Structures are given as C-alpha cells and as structure tokens.
Chain A
Amino acid sequence: MIAFVKKYEGLWLFVHSPAAMVAAVFAVVILWGAVFAPWIALVNPYDLASFSLFDGLLPPVWLDGANPKYLLGTDDQGRDMISSILYGARLSLVIGLSALAIAAVLGVGLGLAAGYYGGRFDAIVMRIADVQLALPAILTALLIDGIARGILPAAIQQDLRVAVLTLAIALSLWVNFARTARASTFVQMNKEYVQAAIIMGQHPLRVMFVHILPNILGPLLVIMTVDLASAILLEATLSFLGIGLPADSPSLGTLIRIGMQFLLSGEWWILWIPTVFLLVLVVSINILGDFLRDVFNPRLR
C-alpha cells in the first residue's frame, strides 16, 4: 500500500492534504446519498401519498416537539427534510453534471480548433466567447428560458424544464473551457510532437483529439471541478429566483426558496439545512478542484 501511494504522486499529495481528504469524504457521501436517494430516503418527496400534512413543520430532533422519525425535521407539507435534500441534491447534480458535459464538449472542441487553426477562426470564436462572458449567466439563462417558453408548446414545456435549465447553464460555462483549451493548445502547437504529426500529414481532427487533447487534460480537469461547483450554484440561483424548477420537483435551490417563506416565522431549519448542505457541497468540490490544480501544476507546489 505504501509503495503504491509512493508511486503515484497525486495520491501521495492527497494523503498529505487533510483539507482535500475531508472535502473528498463530504463529496463522496453526498454523491452516494444523491445516487441512492430512492433507497435511503424515508419518504419520496415527489409522491404525495408517502407523507402527511399532519407531520408538517416538525423541528429537528434536538429541539422540543420533534418526532425522532424525522432527524432534521419536516417542511410545511410534512416532507422529511433529509429526503427532500437527498432528492434535491440528486436533481442538482444531474443538472450540474449534464450542463458541465455539454459545456466541456462545446468549449473544448471550439478551443482546440481555435488554438489549432489560429487566425480568423480563432478570432471569431474568441470574440463570441468575449460577448458570452459579458452577459451575466442569469441573463443567458433568462434568455434561453424565454425563447423556450416562446417556441415550445405549453404541453411539453413542463417536461422540458430540466433540459432548458441545463442548456442555459451549459451556455454560460463553455467559455471557460474554450479559453483554457485554446491557451493550452497554443502551447502544444509549438511542441515538436505536434509538428511531427502535422508533417506526416495526419488529419487535423486526429492531431487535435489524439495528440493534443491528452496533453491538455490536466488544466481542463481542474476547470471541470471548479465549473461543477459553479453549475450547481447557478442552478440553485435560477431555481431560487423561480426561473428554474417548480416546487413539486425541488432541487436544492427550490428548497432554499421555499425555506425563505418560513425564515421569519421561526421555522428556520427549512431554510438553513438545505443552505448549509449546498454550501458544504460547493466548498468540497472547490477544495478538490484546488487540490487537483496543485497536482497538475508542479510549480505551485
């Protein structure tokens, strides 16, 4: 085991970084909870039959009047907070990860091509990226949301809410990938192995994806973790503002919005518990991203 850890630089750094280990534990626990929510959760918050209004507004177990069945209390509908959060995190992670995947494919593809071809193509792609950066993410999301509402028939709008939200988040995140991929590609273009491939007459797509891409994955992985946190936060923001998901299929942001209504009436846990949960999730991912950056950039060590 020790020999194994010594062999892999990243692993060695990992077991010597308490912050990264704690963050990893949180992230893994949350991920498991989200993936296995249907088996772990006490009630299914989407299924009206599985909870009862009579259990509404119960406080967490350490307060008076709590029901030990609901460890962190319930909301006004009688839904168990833990169950809501697990299901909410599931939805948030699904949206975050798919938005990230779309942004990564779009951004890395465009960035690689911009770095490879340079010149006019590069200029056009990067100006589009600049314009995209000038628009706040929320504005982009509102725009896409508005367009979707305008062109999609009302019947399927509800079903496509998750897809629209995902697309909106992806569109505001691809720029990071494009810029990083382009800058790294520029560096690789001067390397002799790339020139060797071009001299051989290999297809540009092969040079980009088989030769260059594996060499620029390091910085892209770091962007991915940081952007996963942004995606989750963005989804929460949009849902909080009511542009995102409706109250009957709550994500973390929706839970926080619902909780806001009870803040002044004394039922603070309905707001605070999802908020702290979101905070822990985002901070954990960010710490892991920071750690990855250190692993991939020996000069910062």
Chain B
Amino acid sequence: MLTIKNLTVKFPSRFGDFTAIEDVDMTIKPGEIHGLVGESGAGKSTVGAAAIGLLQSPGYVSNGTLTLGDTDLRTLTLAQAHKVRGDRISMIFQDPQTSLNPLMTIEDQLIETIQAHSDVSVSAARKRAVYLLEEIGIKNAAQRIKAYPHQFSGGMRQRVVIALAVSTDPELIIADEPTTALDVAVQSQVLDLIQQLAKERQIAFMLITHDIGVIAQVADRVTVMRKGRVIETGNTAQVLGTPKHPYTQALMDAVPPLDRKIDRFRVPDVGDTVSTLGDFAENWLLEGQLHDLTGLSLKNLTVRFAGPRTSFFRKPPPYTALDDVTLNIKPGSIMGLVGESGSGKSTLAKTITGLITPSRGTMTLGDTALPFGKSRSRHHPSRQLVQMVFQDPYSSLNSRHQVGDILTEPLWFYGFVKDAKEREKLAVSMLSLVGMQPEVITKYPHQFSGGQRQRIAVARALLARPRFLICDEPTSALDVSIQAEILNLLKDLQTKFGLTILFISHNLAVVRQMADDTAVLRNGKIEEVGETHALYTAPKAEYTKSLLALTPVMPTYWQT
C-alpha cells in the first residue's frame, strides 16, 4: 500500500526554487486503481515520478513522506531504490514506441527484466515470459515472443510494456497516460487488462491521465490536481458525479458528453464581454457575406500514395489513403468527420486544400469545381474561400512573426485592405472578437498558452474572409477546459457568419457537440454518413457501433 503525505517537490532554477507539487496526500490500497487527473502542468506526472524515485534532475523532494508498505521510500540508498523499482514498483509510459528497445526482441527484453530481479535460469525466465504474454492476452506467445517491437501493433506493444511491468510481481504500477497514444478500440483493451490485473493480482495502480472518460471507466478512487495541489479526492462516482470543489465542477462541465448534445459549454466568464471593439471586425466580415452560403461536395475522391518499395526495378505498389470518398457538406452546416489514426482524416483535409493531389474524383466548392493539388493556381478564389485551423497551435503560427504580422498577412495578401493602419485596426478588432486583448498584437506566439494560440489561429483564418473552414483536430492538443472555450468560440462564429465547417476529430463526444452531420471514416472509406443525432443514437454500421461502445464515458446516473 502506497501512502503519500504532505509531498512537496521543488525544482531549483536560477530564479529560485520552483514548487512543482505541494502538500500532496494520497493513499493507494492493493488492488485499487487510483486515478490522478488534472490539466497539463498540474503536477500529475511529478507525483508518479516522485513515488518511483525517478524525479527529473534537478528536482528533489523537499518535504513529506512516501511509504510503500512499511518501507520509507525517501530514506532508501541508491542501490536499495534500484531494487524497489521493478521489484515492488513498476511503471508504464505513454508511448509504447519509445519505451521498448527497438533493437532487442520481446523475448530478450522480458528475460533481461526477469533475470534482473530474480535469480533464475534463462530457460525458466523464458517460460515465465511466455506465460506472462499469454496472461496479458497475446495469443501464440511462444512464437510471437521472438518478434521485435516494430513487428507488433501499438496496442500489442503497450501489452508487452505491461507484461514487462508485471513480470516482477510489483505491488504498485504507475501508469502515466498509458492509453493516450492509442485508438479507442485498443485503449479499451488495455484498460480492461489493467482492471483485470488489479483484480486478480491485487496490484495497486496509479493511473495518471488527462482523460476523464478513462478515469470514469476504470478508476476506483480519483484525485483531482491543479497547479501542484490536490483539489479533491474520493470515490470516482462521488468526485466526478457530485463534485464538491468549484474547480472540479468546472472541469466536469467542460467534458463533452457522448450521449447528448449540449448547446454551449458552461465555462467561467472571462469578464470583458461588454467590449464593442470586435464590432468593427464583425461588420467587416458580414460585409464580405454578400454571396450565399458555400457548401462542398466530394465525389468518388480517391487518393493513392506510393507504398514501400519492394524491388529496385518495379514501381512501388500504391497505398490507398482515401478510397472512393463521396461526401456532401451542406452550405452553412458543420460536417463532423471522425475516425481513428491513419483513417485518412488529415489526408482528406489536405486534399481539399490542395496540398495533396487525388488520383480520381471531383471536388466542388459552391458551384465551381476545385482544381486538384498543384494544378490549382495560386490565385484561385478557393485559396481565400477555404481556410484551415490546424491541430497543433504550437506549430501553426510562425514563431518568428509577431501576432500583428500573422493576422494582417491575409488582409494584405488577398488585397482586402490597402492601408497598413487600417489592417492593424481590423486585426485588433478581430482579436477582441475571438476573446483576446488588443495589446497582444506586438507579442510573439511563444508568449501565449495553447488555447490563446488557437484563438489567434482562428482569428487568422477568419481574416481571410473564408466561406468554408476546415478544422483539423482543433482541440486535441488542448486541455479540456480550454477545449470547451474554443468549441464555444467556433460555434458562435459559425452561427454569426454562416460558415460551412468540416470539423475533423478522433473524439466522438466533441463531434457530437459540434456537428450537424457526421461522417465516419475508416481505412480511407466512409463507413457511414448521417445526421449527427441519428448517427449517434441509432448507428447503422458495425464500425460506428463499436466506436461508440468503446469510447469511455461517465455513467449517466452519476450526473446530477
């Protein structure tokens, strides 16, 4: 049993000590899955690292007690700590791609770990390794054990990582975002496995994640953290269903539900909504609104890439990224596009914007055909009418340009506003429209948080006066409360300006909140398209059904 009391971790820096976590209390009983949630920077991972004694240098535990059973983890010598790690505490990391050694077979890695912690022969270790793999659900383990990590899929690799973690019979496993890199189907298998191990082997789990759905699905108890402090702790059903602390309540309000649509997320008011500064930009945008709403229809769109080369002399076989995609996005509506990683979602966005050339099909924007890829000239009207909001707000803004330059570029480029002063005035007004202060105009992107950058990215897209907006996973890099703000913003702007939006996301709950229609993409093929409510309540395709069933959600009866 792990007991953490008054844990404080500090990181010395040249500006004085930085307190990463402060006064953290937590107990995890054998067989208990203890969820640790919080937004980025809350100190979740630091708690895990402190427990296993792997705090990143120069961080140190400045106060508090850490005990596992009756061992005081703080007083251990290096050698003893090394023995405890692995023997009694194990760890599962986020990315199975990097936590396994790519040059060693699964067998060698398992045998190495087993032998490091118990004095057994190689053949006994091998036997145990095969047994472990079978236990965690890898079929035909005796043969597959000879494989290298890259020959396994992502989910299989994460199982192997779990096998490594349990190979030494630990009392506690710290799982730091163990399913974040995985698709929902694989995620649910891994979560089942964790639950099964906790139950059968009485292993205690510290499950660190930002995904409240995951916690709701498997955790027995949960601790909510914010800015290095524990906000609330208790039974999962109690904390998530009837949160006591206002922060937890706000957090729960921001989580998009899968089973119903809410009109707006309840987010704390920023306060300065009375400003009329945005009216100028709003009027300017509405001015450009003379023509009708613009839809987009795709017919039999097929995209092929060159696959891996098999022979020097033969052409590599093509790999089909999009297969006969037909999709009709109604003018003024939001089309949601969901699918797992590798399903071709981003390929579709890039094809529409002309970055990728399809091999077959037609694209029609409004009533004009869109030329493909490089044959679309730089002056084609669609360059202005179609704009995009990207996934990663850290790379979608040029870090060497001031916000003002980023925002005025489309105005200058499309020749909307000739006068530089006027352009700046419009940019400032647009910033206010997306909920930012005017003085940020002279700052650089790195001075902002992810959510603020995404607002700037939305402002940039709007300043091109688009009629059709592609949002490619616009919130997947953001914390859930920020996500709620951005989704609210996008909704407001869409209603105000009659934009047509293609909203791409892997998160089914988010799409349900945003989209009028939803399309489900799998391996480049559209599995199902339909009106969002109908698709979510009565899915027709098997694939849609399984996606909906596997997405972790909070039981409805928890909610007040």
In the assembled complex, A264 has its CB within 8 A of some CB on chain B: no
Given known pairs A196-B388, A198-B355, the reply for A191 and B15 (CB within 8 Å) is no
Contact A191–B395 (Cβ < 8 Å): yes
How close is B455's CB to chain A, nearest CB, in angstroms? Answer: 15
Contact B398–A193 (Cβ < 8 Å): yes
In the assembled complex, B266 has its CB within 8 A of some CB on chain A: no
* Chain A binding surface, main DSSP class: helix
Kindly identify which residue among B383, B398, B400 contacts A201, using a CB–CB cutoff of 8 Å: B383
Kindly identify which residue among B383, B396, B400 contacts A200, using a CB–CB cutoff of 8 Å: B383
Give residues of chain B (334-385) contacting chain A, Cβ–Cβ below 8 Å.
350, 353-355, 377-380, 383-384
Q: How far is the CA of A235 from the CA of B282 in the complex (A)?
A: 62
Kindly identify which residue among B354, B383, B395 contacts A192, using a CB–CB cutoff of 8 Å: B395
How close is A174's CB to chain B, nearest CB, in angstroms? Answer: 24
Contact A193–B395 (Cβ < 8 Å): yes
In the assembled complex, A203 has its CB within 8 A of some CB on chain B: yes
In the assembled complex, B421 has its CB within 8 A of some CB on chain A: no
How close is A8's CB to chain B, nearest CB, in angstroms? Answer: 13
Contact B379–A193 (Cβ < 8 Å): no
Contact A215–B399 (Cβ < 8 Å): yes
Q: How far is the CA of A196 from the CA of B399 in the complex (A)?
A: 13
Chain A residue contacts of B380, Cβ below 8 A: 201
Kindly identify which residue among B387, B390, B395, B400 contacts A214, using a CB–CB cutoff of 8 Å: B400
Contact B398–A203 (Cβ < 8 Å): no
Contact A211–B398 (Cβ < 8 Å): yes
Q: How large is the interface on A (under 10, 10 to 19, 20 to 34, 35 or more residues)?
A: 10 to 19
Q: Which of chain B's residues has its CB closest to A214's CB?
A: B400
How close is B69's CB to chain A, nearest CB, in angstroms? Answer: 39
How close is A242's CB to chain B, nearest CB, in angstroms? Answer: 46
How close is B54's CB to chain A, nearest CB, in angstroms? Answer: 19
Chain A residue contacts of B397, Cβ below 8 A: 193
Chain B residue contacts of A214, Cβ below 8 A: 398, 400-401
Q: How far is the CA of A8 from the CA of B509 in the complex (A)?
A: 43
Q: Which of chain A's residues has its CB closest to B472's CB?
A: A192
B400-420 vs A, CB cutoff 8 Å, 1 = contact: the mask equals: 110000000110010000000
Contact B396–A201 (Cβ < 8 Å): no
Give residues of chain A (58-79) contacting chain B, Cβ–Cβ below 8 Å.
none
- Number of B positions contacting A (CB below 8 A): 30
In the assembled complex, B391 has its CB within 8 A of some CB on chain A: yes
Contact A192–B391 (Cβ < 8 Å): yes
Q: How far is the CA of A162 from the CA of B391 in the complex (A)?
A: 53
How close is B6's CB to chain A, nearest CB, in angstroms? Answer: 32
Contact B396–A193 (Cβ < 8 Å): yes
Chain B residue contacts of A195, Cβ below 8 A: 350, 353, 355, 388, 390
A196-221 vs B, CB cutoff 8 Å, 1 = contact: the mask equals: 10111111000000010011000000
Given known pairs A192-B390, A192-B391, A215-B400, the reply for A200 and B15 (CB within 8 Å) is no
Contact A200–B464 (Cβ < 8 Å): yes
Given known pairs A192-B396, A193-B396, A211-B398, the reply for A202 and B391 (CB within 8 Å) is no
Contact B398–A202 (Cβ < 8 Å): no
Given known pairs A200-B464, A203-B378, the reply for A12 and B14 (CB within 8 Å) is yes
In the assembled complex, B183 has its CB within 8 A of some CB on chain A: no
Contact B390–A196 (Cβ < 8 Å): yes
Contact A199–B354 (Cβ < 8 Å): yes
Contact B379–A201 (Cβ < 8 Å): yes
In the assembled complex, B95 has its CB within 8 A of some CB on chain A: no
How close is B414's CB to chain A, nearest CB, in angstroms? Answer: 8
How close is A195's CB to chain B, nearest CB, in angstroms? Answer: 6
Contact B388–A199 (Cβ < 8 Å): yes
Q: Which of chain B's residues has its CB closest to A190's CB?
A: B395
In the assembled complex, B392 has its CB within 8 A of some CB on chain A: yes
How close is B519's CB to chain A, nearest CB, in angstroms? Answer: 22
- Residue among A6, A191, A198, A214 with max Cβ neighbours from chain B (10 Å): A191
Give residues of chain A (1-28) contacting chain B, Cβ–Cβ below 8 Å.
6, 12
Q: How far is the CA of A35 from the CA of B460 in the complex (A)?
A: 47
Chain B residue contacts of A202, Cβ below 8 A: 378, 413
Q: How far is the CA of A12 from the CA of B14 in the complex (A)?
A: 10
A53-97 vs B, CB cutoff 8 Å, 1 = contact: the mask equals: 000000000000000000000000000000000000000000000
Chain A residue contacts of B395, Cβ below 8 A: 191-193
Could you jot down 26 A-B contacts, CB within 8 Å? Answer: A6-B15, A191-B395, A192-B392, A192-B395, A192-B396, A193-B399, A195-B350, A195-B353, A195-B390, A196-B388, A196-B460, A199-B353, A199-B355, A199-B383, A199-B386, A199-B388, A200-B383, A200-B410, A200-B413, A201-B377, A201-B383, A201-B384, A202-B413, A214-B398, A214-B401, A215-B400
Extra inter-chain contacts (13) besides given A193-B395, A193-B396, CB under 8 Å: A6-B15, A192-B390, A195-B350, A196-B396, A198-B355, A199-B383, A199-B388, A200-B383, A200-B413, A201-B378, A202-B378, A203-B378, A215-B400
Q: Which residues of B contact A (CB under 8 A)?
A: 14-15, 350, 353-355, 377-380, 383-384, 386-388, 390-392, 395-401, 409-410, 413, 460, 464
List the 3 closest pairs (A to B, CB-CB), nearest first.
A201-B383, A214-B400, A192-B396
